[in-house]
Amino acid sequence: MLRKFLLAGVTALVINVVPAQAHGPIFSPGPETLYKDGVESHLEYHRSEKGDETENELAWAIGYGITEDWLISAELPYVRIKEDGNDNDGIGNIALETKYRFWRRDALGKQDSVSGFAKAILDTAKDTSDPALSSGANDLVLGLAYGQESLIWQRWASIRYRFNGDSDAGIERGNRIFADAAIGWRSEIPQYYKPDLLWMVELNTEYTQRSEQNNISLADTGGTEIFLSPGMIWAYRNFAVKSGVQLPVYNNLNGNQSTSDYRAKFALEMNF
């Protein structure tokens, strides 16, 4: 039972749906925000496999640009988890996010920017079934994202710290640190009324502290995983299709834990 809760804490919560990303990285946050009074609708399918566990998630997120620098968004996921032959599905953890771009430098055909963001992941999923869809805790993510976008090359970097709440089972879930870098490239200078295709590759690092119970570290928790993540964005004006796959290239997980096989993502995005 303990393992179920720990697994739920590691899997169902790694997904990162962030609106206002039509021209940002696929698996990590970028500094992009929406124009003032802009609305973005984002529908995303995510699948991950890890040992004998498979997770499918369909999430819808909507974002609103309060100003050109300040974005708020909400995310509603539907999750299906299969583990050891058992499966469970239902509404996942609803997340609320705010992002503020506090620095921007514009030049001809180039933009550099930095944003800070906070995301609250609420314990709204069923966590009593087997396998649990949630770890039974509210979590908070804080982070910074930098981006340098030009007509051909794009570069991004971000860091996030996730404060994981204590689970209903009394487990102090280990906090997590994410560090990401991404490069994007398009073969020609974009034209406004033509489709824009951007190729991308990311390096995603995830470090998880050991979880504890009654001040005792749990052996089969925590560790580091690094993913190499190729992907692409196809966009036409206010509509974008994004897809990519995260492939594990390094792992150093404590104790006896399954390592990730892959994670894949497909998203549709539209601005209004």
Partner 1 sequence: MHRLILIITLVVFSGSAYAGEKEHLMQVHGAVCPACAYGLEKKFMNIDGVKGFDVDFESGVVSVCTDENIEFEEEELVTLFKQSGYTYKGEEIRDTCTVPEKT
- Rounded CA-CA distance 204/159 in Å is 10
Which CB sits closer to partner 1, 111 or 213? 111
Number of neighbours of residue 103 by Cβ within 10 angstroms? 12
- Rounded CA-CA distance 68/99 in Å is 11
Smallest gap from Cβ 244 to partner 1, in A, equals 16
Going along the chain, which residue ranges are E strands? 39-50, 53-65, 70-83, 86-91, 95-107, 110-121, 139-150, 153-163, 176-185, 196-208, 212-213, 216-217, 223-236, 239-253, 260-271
- Rounded CA-CA distance 54/178 in Å is 22
Residue with tokens 């001809």, as numbered in its chain: 108
Interaction between residue 240 and partner 1 (CB under 8 A): yes
Site stretch for partner 1 (CB under 8 A), options 44-52, 129-137, 174-182, 187-195? 187-195
Site stretch for partner 1 (CB under 8 A), options 33-41, 49-57, 213-221, 260-268? 33-41
Which CB sits closer to partner 1, 37 or 52? 37
Interaction between residue 196 and partner 1 (CB under 8 A): yes
Interaction between residue 193 and partner 1 (CB under 8 A): yes
Interaction between residue 44 and partner 1 (CB under 8 A): no
Tell me which residue of 241, 264, 249, 194 sits closest to 23, measured CA to CA.
241
Identified binder of partner 1 from the candidate list 192, 214, 215, 256, rule CB under 8 A: 192
Identified binder of partner 1 from the candidate list 191, 214, 215, 256, rule CB under 8 A: 191
- Residue 184: strand pairing partners: 154, 200
Interaction between residue 41 and partner 1 (CB under 8 A): no
Interaction between residue 206 and partner 1 (CB under 8 A): no
The contact set with partner 1 (CB under 8 A) reads: 22-23, 32-38, 67-69, 104, 106-111, 149-151, 189-194, 196, 198, 235-238, 240, 271-272
